[in-house]
Amino acid sequence: MISAAKPEVGEEERAAVDRVMRSGMLAQGPEVAAFESEFSTIVNNFHSVALNSGTSALHMSLLAIGVGPGDEVIVPSFSFAATANAVGLTGATPVFVDIELDYFATDPAAIEAAITPRTKAIMPVHLYGHPANMPVIAAIAKKHNLLLVEDAAQAHMAAIDGVPVGAWGIAGSFSFYPTKNMTSGEGGMVTTPSEEVARSIRVLRNQGMEKRYENEVIGFNTRMTDIHAAIGRVQLTKLAGWTAKRQANAAFLTENISGVVTPPTAPNAEHVFHQYTVRVVDQDRDAFATELAARGVGSGVYYPTPIHRLPSFGIDLDLPQTEIAAQQVLSLPIYPSLTEDELSTIVEAVNAIAKAGS
C-alpha cells in the first residue's frame, strides 16, 4: 500500500533529539530560540514565536491582537475545525464564508459580504498549500480597518505575488504536525511584524509571564519543548528540497492523470502541495477512494464535513462551493519520498478507475 501521507524523519532528527536529551535541558530553551530565529528567515524576517501546536498558534495570535467576546472573525467553512475552534476559544464568533472552488481558498467576495460592525478580523486559510488571494483580501482588510490573521498551517514556503504566506497580516500561524510539509513532532509557530504581538504571545504561552513568577496576565502553558524544536530545526534545513520534490511530483501527476479535476495553481502563486487534491466529479468520491485502496493506493478526504455543519457549531448556511468541495475532494499521495514507480502506480490506478466509471 502506498500510504496517503508519510512523515519524513531520518538520522539527523534522531541525532538532534539525542543532543537535547544529553544536554539535560528538555523544556523551552536555546533550541526553541534558535528555531524561532531560523524560521523567521522564510517569512520575511518577521518575529517568530514557537508553540506546542498549530491550534495554539492560532489561538494565541487571536488573543494577542485583542480578539474576544462580542467580536466576529470571518473564516472559511472548508477547513480543519481548528480554524474555527481557535476563534471560539477566545469567546469570539466565527463567521463562516464560502470558498473559490478552483483553489479551495477563502472567497474574497464572500468575505466582503460577511463584514458587519462586529467584525474584528479576517482569517483566510491557505488550504492544501495553495495561498489564498491575499492581495485582494489584504485590500479588503485595509479598506474596512480589520485585522488580518493567516492560517498557514499547511503552507510552509507558499507565496503569492512573491510575498510568503505568514507575512501578509498582523499574524500568521503554522503547524508542525507530523504529516505537514515539515514537522517538529508536534508544534506550531506564529509569525508577526509586531514586536508587541510577539511579546504578548511569549507571555501568553508561558503562564502569563515573561519573567519568572512575575505573572502579568492569566496565561497558558503552550510552550514548545527543546526536543521538538531540535527536530524542527533539522526539518527546516530540508524544507526547500522537499518543497521542490512535492512540486515535481505534482507536475507529474497533473501531466498524466485523467478523468478527475486536478489542482490548478494561480499564475501569481507558489503552491507547495501539502496535499495533492483532485475533485472526483463524475463518480462517487468515496467509492473511488475505496477502489484506489484496493489497487494499493492510499488517499484522504480533507474535509468531508464543512465546519459550520459539525455538531460543535451546527449552523445552517448556504455555502454552495464549500458543499461541492466536501463531496468531491480526494487527496492523493504527494510526499517527497515517493518513488517514480509509486507515482506511476498512482497515475495508473486513478486513470483506470476514472475510465471504468466513465
Segment 21-73, tens digit of pLDDT: 999 888 888 999 999 999 999 999 999 999 999 999 999 999 999 999 999 99
> What is the predicted pLDDT for the residue at 17?
95
Which residue in 320, 328, 322, 331 sits closest to 78, CA to CA? Answer: 322
Does 239-357 carry CATH code 3.90.1150.10?
A: yes
> What is the predicted pLDDT for the residue at 27?
85
Task: Please say whether the beta carbons of 230 and 256 come within 8 A.
Answer: no
> What is the predicted pLDDT for the residue at 25?
81
Beta strands in 201-344 (DSSP E): 269-270, 276-279, 329-332
Q: What is the CATH number of domain 11-234?
A: 3.40.640.10
**Whole-angstrom distance, CA of residue 322 vs CA of residue 9:** 34
pTM: 0.96
Q: Which regions of the chain are under pLDDT 70?
A: 358
> What is the predicted pLDDT for the residue at 257?
98
> What is the predicted pLDDT for the residue at 242?
98
Topology alike, domains 11-234 and 239-357: no
Q: Which residues contact 166 (CB under 8 A, 6 or more apart)?
A: 43, 46, 150, 152, 155, 172, 173, 174, 191
Q: Where are the domains of the chain?
A: 11-234, 239-357
Q: How many CB atoms sit inside 10 A of residue 34's CB?
A: 15
> What is the predicted pLDDT for the residue at 357?
80
Q: pLDDT digits over 163-187, tens only?
A: 999 999 999 999 999 999 999 999 9
